[in-house]
Amino acid sequence: MSPARNEVTPEGTSAPIDLHTVTHGRLLELMSELGQPSFRAKQVEEWVWSKNAQSFDEMTNLPKALRDELAARCTLGGVEEVARQVSVDGSRKYLLRFPDGVSVECVGMPSRGRLAVCASTQAGCAMGCAFCATGAAGLTRSLTAAEIYEQVMHVRDDFNDRVTSVVLMGQGEPFMNYDATLGALRRLNSPDGAGIGARRLTVSTCGVIPQIMRFANEPEQFTLAVSLHSAVQRTRNALMPGVRKYSLVNLYSALGEYVNKTSRRPTYEYALIGGVNDTDSELQALCDFCEGTLAHVNLIQLNEVEGSRFHPSTEARAEDFVRRLARVGIEATIRNSRGADIDAACGQLKQRAARIS
Ligand code: SAH
Ligand code: SF4
């Protein structure tokens, strides 16, 4: 067998090929270098993507010699679970570490035969939202498409069940990591990957307008959620300083264009913060912003972040919001915070793990 051409590092040593990042073309080349028929590339990809193999020994339809060659020359990336919390409602929150030591959170939420996963797109976040634990810590780095995908597969394998939907609402701003996010969505959607329907794959953005427009032009019917949190410019600037330059007026027209292009209904996320964005004038501004649009509003009670000056509103206030929005023809739901007892707000498990270690 001729030796495979590994990627060569500046020091002249061969770096292993990460099968989560290698292209199909390069894998075909590798198979040919190893004297293997081309269909082996497809088999390897199936183990890597659909079956989420953790070792080369699992790849039982490959000849033993090939498995050994692959083990010598390639890696499977791989995430390591460093902490988990299990909620009384069955949700499981994981802290996963990548080979370079960077860690992120993801959550699996089972309910009535479904399994929803919330995954991260970045370790940390640079947007600095005032109410968000992830924002407070800043950005460590963006994740690769494979790292976003692997979180979902980790949850799937842990529950030993099919994942029915994914929301990219963990740590990070997906639209500040657009290409990797889209790559992950496509792999999650692909029948050769996780095979999850595009409409069941949701991206949540704090409102990065140029990328909302780009997303509107993607051919797949992925779902969009926009974190609004206030329809009053001054309040929104204070809560979400990272998107100051994308004004509410421009966000409004961008979403109008998004709806025209896609005929899909965007969701607005609105975390109710007592005395900040739950006042009468804030509610009026929200009604004005939504009236006559296709939007659906998700009202979330703020998850309290330790040491934060913000507190959730009352349940009665959330119900007022639902009623008033209904009067202008806007459907709103009060979303239960799944796993509230396990600090399912983004960033919190990581903070706790850091305190423990
Ligand atoms: N960066 C993206 C996606 C990750 S944040 C975004 O901002 O949309 C996922 C959601 O959690 C967002 O709607 C965000 O505003 C919300 N969020 C952040 N901190 C929160 C908290 N303490 N309580 C409730 N929701 C929070
Ligand atoms: Fe980043 Fe989203 Fe948190 Fe804002 S809410 S800091 S955009 S993760």
The helices-and-strands tally (H runs, E runs) of the chain is: 12, 16
For atom 20 of ligand 1, the residue with the nearest CA is 132
Q: State in Å: Cα 206 to ligand 2 middle.
A: 7
For atom 6 of ligand 2, the residue with the nearest CA is 135
CB of 169 closer than 6 angstroms to any ligand 1 atom: yes
CB of 203 closer than 6 angstroms to any ligand 1 atom: no
Look at residue 286 and tell me whether its pLDDT is greater than 50: yes
Catalytic residue among 69, 105, 147, 282: 105
Q: State in Å: Cα 57 to ligand 2 middle.
A: 40
For atom 8 of ligand 2, the residue with the nearest CA is 172
The best mutation among 141, 171, 177, 206 to test binding of ligand 2, ranked by most ligand atoms within 8 Å of the C-beta, falls on: 206
How, if at all, do strands 103-111 and 92-97 pair? antiparallel
What is the distance between the alpha carbons of residues 24 and 42, in angstroms, rounded to a whole number? Answer: 8
Question: Mean pLDDT of all residues in the chain?
Answer: 91
Look at residue 2 and tell me whether its pLDDT is greater than 50: no
Report the residue count for the chain: 357
Q: State in Å: Cα 133 to ligand 1 middle.
A: 9
Residue 322 CA, distance from chain mean position: 27
**What is the pLDDT confidence band of residue 4, given thresholds at 50, 70 and 90?**
very low
The predicted structure's pLDDT at residue 5: 47
Catalytic residue among 74, 106, 287, 346: 346
Q: State in Å: Cα 332 to ligand 2 middle.
A: 22
The predicted structure's pLDDT at residue 338: 63
- Has 7 been annotated as catalytic? no
Mean pLDDT of 108-137: 93
What is the distance between the alpha carbons of residues 231 and 245, in angstroms, rounded to a whole number? Answer: 15
Atom in ligand 1 nearest the alpha carbon of residue 347 = 19
**What is the pLDDT confidence band of residue 137, given thresholds at 50, 70 and 90?**
confident
Q: State in Å: Cα 242 to ligand 2 middle.
A: 9
- Has 346 been annotated as catalytic? yes
DSSP string of 299-312, one letter each residue: EEEPPPPTT-S--B
The best mutation among 104, 143, 171, 173 to test binding of ligand 2, ranked by most ligand atoms within 8 Å of the C-beta, falls on: 173
pTM of the model: 0.92
Q: What is the CA radius of gyration of the chain?
A: 22
The predicted structure's pLDDT at residue 307: 86
Helix-, strand-, coil-residue percentages of the chain, each rounded to 5: 40, 20, 40
Percent of the chain with pLDDT over 90: 82
What is the distance between the alpha carbons of residues 344 and 169, in angstroms, rounded to a whole number? Answer: 11
The predicted structure's pLDDT at residue 305: 84
**Phi and psi dihedrals of 94, rounded to 5?**
-120, 145
Q: State in Å: Cα 121 to ligand 1 middle.
A: 13
The predicted structure's pLDDT at residue 15: 79
Residue 202's alpha-carbon distances to 18, 113, 147, 314, in angstroms, are 27, 19, 17, 28
The predicted structure's pLDDT at residue 229: 98
